[in-house]
């Protein structure tokens, strides 16, 4: 399990995260959603040990973050694609596999390339990939070490709808052996998560299963939930 307790993070005088506490459970897909600028990526970077949080603590399987020993157990896909454009898709996967300290079998690499539909393009230089192909290659790299923890920051941006559904089906299969945290702006993807964390005002405003959240707010979709949260804030501000 991933545990965050009272996490706060500021850049200069600007507070990005304030007293964020949540448990992210194993064998579930947890979706992290919210408007741009609410701290989703910063929270993920703190979780990865890429940003040092100011207060609180984060632990993964009772090991405090940051901890270098945890990195090989985590598959991470960033918003930007950290790929080597002068290498082929296959060479990128082999390089990152080596960086993880492992040598993936040809069958494992082929299986992952098939998942993201890049098997036929594996010998093409990444500089000739489209934006969607680069996102798919980044996802393949996140999966290559068969991680216990999978952290994906908007993984399906630029990916066509049919492949997107296929990837989500595969993610649900993978959750049997892993813990997943996924950020998304796409509401139908949010509804495919087991647990949702709705971020607003530097913290998590609401958490629960998608259906629990909809029922709690009497809403037909997650967009309506955010609208109702805005209405509550306005009413509170007016009353004060």
Q: What per-residue confidence (pLDDT) applies to 179?
A: 93
pLDDT tens digits for range 68-86: 888 888 999 988 888 999 9
pTM tops 0.85: yes
| Secondary structure in 3-state letters for the chain | CEEEEEEEEEECCEEEEEEEEEEECCCCEEEEECCCCCCHHHHHHHHHCCCCCCEEEEEECCEEECCHHHHHHEEEECCCCCCCCCCEHHHHHHHHHHHCCCCCCHHHHHHHHHHCCCHHHCCCEHHHCCHHHHHHHHHHHHHCCCCCEEEEECCCCCCCHHHHHHHHHHHHHHHHHCEEEEECCCHHHHCCCCEEEEEECCEEEEEECHHHHHHHHCCCCHHHHHHHHHHHHHHHHHHC
Q: What per-residue confidence (pLDDT) applies to 28?
A: 94
**Contact status, residue 56 vs residue 8, Cβ threshold 8 Å:** yes
CATH number at residue 60: 3.40.50.300
How many domains does the chain contain in total?
1
- Would you place residue 186 in the very low, low, confident or very high pLDDT band (cuts 50, 70, 90)? confident
The residue-averaged pLDDT of 29-56 equals 92
- What is the Cα–Cα distance from 31 to 207, expressed in whole angstroms? 10
Q: Determine the structural domain holding residue 119 and report its residue range.
A: 2-239
* Length, in residues, of the chain: 240
pLDDT tens digits for range 101-158: 777 788 889 999 998 889 999 999 999 999 889 999 999 999 888 889 999 998 888 8
- What is the Cα–Cα distance from 185 to 147, expressed in whole angstroms? 24
Q: What per-residue confidence (pLDDT) applies to 93?
A: 93
Q: What per-residue confidence (pLDDT) applies to 240?
A: 63
Q: What per-residue confidence (pLDDT) applies to 27?
A: 93
């Amino acid at each position: 399990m991933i545990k965050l307790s009272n996490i706060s993070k500021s850049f200069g005088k600007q507070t990005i995260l304030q007293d964020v506490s949540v448990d992210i459970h194993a064998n579930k897909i947890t979706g992290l959603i919210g408007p741009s600028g609410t701290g989703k990526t910063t929270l993920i970077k703190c979780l990865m040990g890429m940003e040092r949080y100011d207060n609180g603590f984060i632990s993964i399987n009772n090991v405090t973050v940051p901890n270098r020993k945890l990195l090989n157990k985590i598959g991470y896909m960033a918003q930007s694609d950290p790929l080597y454009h002068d290498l082929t898709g296959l060479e990128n996967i082999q390089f990152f596999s080596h960086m993880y300290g492992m040598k993936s079998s040809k069958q494992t690499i082929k299986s992952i390339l098939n998942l993201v539909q890049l098997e036929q393009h594996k010998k093409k230089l990444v500089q000739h990939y489209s934006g969607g192909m680069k996102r798919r290659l980044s996802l393949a790299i996140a999966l290559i070490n068969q991680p216990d923890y999978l952290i994906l920051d908007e993984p399906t941006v630029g990916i066509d709808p049919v492949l997107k559904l296929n990837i989500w089906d595969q993610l649900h299969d993978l959750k049997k052996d892993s813990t997943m945290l996924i950020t998304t702006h796409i509401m139908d993807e949010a509804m495919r998560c087991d647990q949702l964390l709705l971020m607003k005002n530097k913290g998590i405003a609401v958490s629960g299963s998608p259906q629990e959240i909809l029922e709690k707010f009497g809403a037909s979709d997650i967009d309506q939930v955010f609208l109702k949260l805005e209405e509550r804030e306005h009413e509170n501000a007016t009353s004060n």
